[in-house]
Amino acid sequence: MKKTVALIAHDRKKEEMLTFVLDHKEQLRNYDLIATATTGKIVKEKAGLPITTYLSGPLGGDQQIGARIACQEVSAVIFLRDPLTAQPHEPDITALLRICDVHNIPVATNVATAGLVLQSLD
């Protein structure tokens, strides 16, 4: 069974997520990818990777991914957040960090850490 990696990005970090995915495309092919709606759409269309998408963050997609984490169905989370200009409609990272901590799931909030998390999964 493949490990599952969740991808989430605030609006101003979506291009950075795409760059990260393209830079790690061959490695990411080895995982089942899940994402919130817009992030997943970008990855699917521009990187050509298969990805399961949930609702957008403001509609609860991050909570859907949180439920998968709680059920031990996610191996790692990459949540590229914008710490300076996050908008009120964007997913709240606090609840997602909490559920990852409760279930001992690695979570990366920037590309430097994301690369290390991917290395640790191999």
What amino acid positions are annotated as catalytic residues?
62
Largest CA distance in the chain: 38
CA angle 93, 95, 96 (to 5 degrees): 65
Q: Distance between CA atoms of 122 and 107, rounded to whole angstroms?
A: 15
Joined together, the tokens standing for residue 106 give: 């690695």
- The partner residues of 78 in beta bridges, in order of sequence, read 7, 108
